[in-house]
Amino acid sequence: MSQSVQIKNALISVYYKDNLEPIIHELSRLGVKLYSTGGTETFIRSLGADVIAVEDLTSYPSILGGRVKTLHPKVFGGILARRNFESDEQQLQQYDIPEIDLVIVDLYPFEETVKSGAGQDDVIEKIDIGGISLIRAAAKNFKDVVIVASKDDYIGLADMLKAQSGATDIDQRRLFAQKAFNITSDYDTAIFDYFNQDEQLPVFKQSIQKSQVLRYGENPHQQGVFYGNLDAMFNKLHGKELSYNNLVDVDAAVALIDEFTEPTIAILKHTNACGIASRSFMIEAWKDALACDPVSAFGGVIIANDEIDAETATEINKIFFEVLIAPAYTDDAIRVLKEKKNRIILIRQNVELPIKQFKTLLNGVIEQDKDLVIEGPDQMRTVTNAQPTEQELKDLYFANKVVKHTKSNTIVFAKNSQLMASGVGQTSRVDSLKQAVIKADGFGFDLNGAVMASDAFFPFSDCMELAAEAGITAVLQPGGSIKDQDSINMANEKGISMVMTGVRHFKH
């Protein structure tokens, strides 16, 4: 096996030509014979470099409107020939096939064409055939051939050619091959996803090219990586890199805040809201969000759906938090928030989010649609003698948005568009209710006239009884229990109004 390969012949056929010029000049200086097609051939000639058209090598023209150009034994034979196989070398000589030691080929912009909204015919024409075949062939024969399949590697290749006088070692070629197969697999996944938009083939495929190694995973002894483009999602103004746990909380925060259109601030801890309020002004939203549970707010993730001004920033600056997210900040607000070193300040940017979610489970993966449904007053069916007031309906809508994004089993208390308390992640619904009552009492909230929302039905009437004792006057639940009538009867007995939505919002 050859460890060092001197490049003598190169095939270059690319869509993107940025930063290609230094490679052409260096290959020409080294006396490498260049082969090319179409626009790349024209580009190379414009640089004053000698180049041989692939058509002259194969003695066959480009046909079918360019669909067939390089698919020929004189091209693929030169790429796939094993230099240490005598029979391969003999056949190259027999058929006058040059050994091709370097292949620089990229792929038609299939994903970009799909995203542009182009019609099916245009999309189909951007499915690369020759290019992907050349890449796979060169990568397969990495022991003898260098494959460069991305413009991102052009500068590195030019530096390597110059530093090593046109020679490459086996480790370099293996790394280029690894990158090449990553590119082709990602490309094929994109094509499959396009053809499988109706999900007639129930298979799981994901290919995400960008990644970021995290300090650690959920705990320091676990490794963690984020796959995706955080720079597209957020503009970081200040602070350290987001951790694994930060990202989990930030994801929950984004999902929650997107339920609200009026100025709102939420504070989250371990993916659950420990404070949230909607107000006319951000300073008021902050103060009322923090009032819900100022203890849990310590070290939390804060998210707003409107600009943070200096007054609000000054108040936020009084507590320790991990992450603050907003669509914008005034200059004075940024100056205030940058006073402390490690806090993370992010501007959220407009990015389309996935509508599916998945996670590994047992020996496989489970996937589901995101819970993108929320029930407002029009979807609330009153089932009690008492009717909710207009304000109670508004608060029930607010509470329903919060309960949807809180760990099950959960109970949420709200009044005047403010979270007053929640019972989170308990193994019984009545325990969640008791927890919420204790927290409300602990922070001095008067629950008289407040509303209650539940993520799932009440299996027994005990929750209605306890809610009435706490001062709750209106309740929202999906319904669906065989004992719904027991809860309705208790609500009627206590003079509480109850609405049912018919939609459960479990969150595990």
Active site residues: 140, 270
Q: Are 426 and 409 in contact (CB under 8 A)?
A: yes
- The three-class DSSP label of residue 361 is strand
Please state, in angstroms and rounded to a whole number, the distance separating the CA atoms of residues 425 and 411. Answer: 9
The beta-carbon contacts of 205-212 under 8 Å, at least 24 apart in sequence, are 206/358, 209/182, 212/241
Please name which of 442, 431, 440, 453 lies closest in space to residue 497, comparing C-alpha atoms. Answer: 453
**32-55 burial: b if 16+ Cβ within 10 Å, else e:** bbbbbbeebbebbeeeebebbebb
Please name which of 199, 165, 189, 159 lies closest in space to residue 19, comparing C-alpha atoms. Answer: 159
Q: How many CB atoms lie within 10 A of CB 291?
A: 17
Q: Are 97 and 73 in contact (CB under 8 A)?
A: yes
CA 386 to chain centroid, in Å, comes to: 45
Cα 375–402–217 angle (5° rounding)? Answer: 125
> Which residues make Cβ contacts (< 8 Å) with residue 144, sequence separation at least 6?
2, 5, 81, 82, 83, 99, 101, 173
3 state SS for 116-151:
CCCCHHHHHHCCCCHHHHHHHHHHHCCCCCEEECCH
